[in-house]
């Protein structure tokens, strides 16, 4: 029983201290600097800027993946790399503006990033498909051309052999010794 009282007493002291701190904080709120207060308009601008930056980041990542896949397929992606670099710079500047609480500039730069890579993923996919089609066409052309070449080689080789065989037999028949009858 004595232990319950001690435990209860310690709990009550901690509770009183916590209540005193909360009351002191509530009394001190009017005296805090205005920098701690968040304007509703700033919060909305910050939210819009954060969404714009996140959307630009997702679009940029999608474009990077599409360009990487197109490059792996053998497509020439040189033109896309400059666009990706510029968009990455815009996104980086947007993040810096957001960090500096310049939400309007952050939203604008994120929009520039999106505008710079708009349609880039679909163009890269189209280029990848076109490159794969060209490779397939080249493979078919190579197989057909090689097959025709082999067939011609076999036919012309057989014809040449027949011509040479005929000449050989004629030359042999001309070289026959004549047998005299006695």
Q: pLDDT value at position 133?
A: 92
Domain ranges within the chain, ordered by starting residue? 2-27+40-173
Q: Give pLDDT, residue 180.
A: 73
Contact in structure between 53 and 110 (CB atoms under 8 Å): yes
Residues of the chain with pLDDT under 50: 1, 5-6, 29-38
Give the per-residue pLDDT at 24: 55
Q: What digits encode the pLDDT tens for the residues 103-156?
A: 999 999 999 999 989 888 888 889 889 989 999 999 999 999 999 999 999 999
CA distances from 31 to 11, 25, 112, 116 (A): 31, 10, 42, 47
pTM value surpassing 0.75 = no
Q: In this structure, what token pair is assigned to residue 54? A: 């996140």
pLDDT at 159: 95
For 120, what's the count of Cα atoms within 13 Å in the CB-facing half-sphere? 29
The pLDDT assigned to 97 comes to 93
């Amino acid at each position: 029983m004595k232990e319950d009282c001690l435990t209860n007493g310690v709990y009550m002291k901690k509770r009183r201290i916590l209540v005193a701190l909360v009351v002191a904080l509530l009394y001190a709120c009017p005296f805090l600097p205005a920098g701690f207060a968040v304007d509703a308009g700033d919060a909305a601008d910050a939210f819009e800027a954060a969404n714009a930056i996140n959307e630009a980041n997702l679009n940029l990542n999608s474009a990077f993946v599409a360009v990487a896949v197109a490059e792996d397929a053998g497509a020439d992606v040189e033109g896309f790399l400059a666009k990706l670099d510029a968009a990455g710079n815009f996104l980086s500047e947007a993040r810096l503006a957001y960090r500096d609480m310049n939400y309007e500039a952050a939203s604008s730069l994120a929009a520039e990033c999106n505008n710079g890579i708009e349609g880039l993923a679909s163009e890269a996919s189209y280029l990848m498909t076109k490159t794969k089609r060209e490779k397939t066409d080249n493979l078919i052309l190579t197989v057909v051309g090689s097959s025709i070449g082999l067939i011609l080689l076999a036919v012309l080789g057989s014809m040449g052999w027949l011509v040479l065989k005929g000449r050989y037999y004629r030359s042999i028949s001309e070289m026959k010794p004549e047998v005299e009858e006695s």
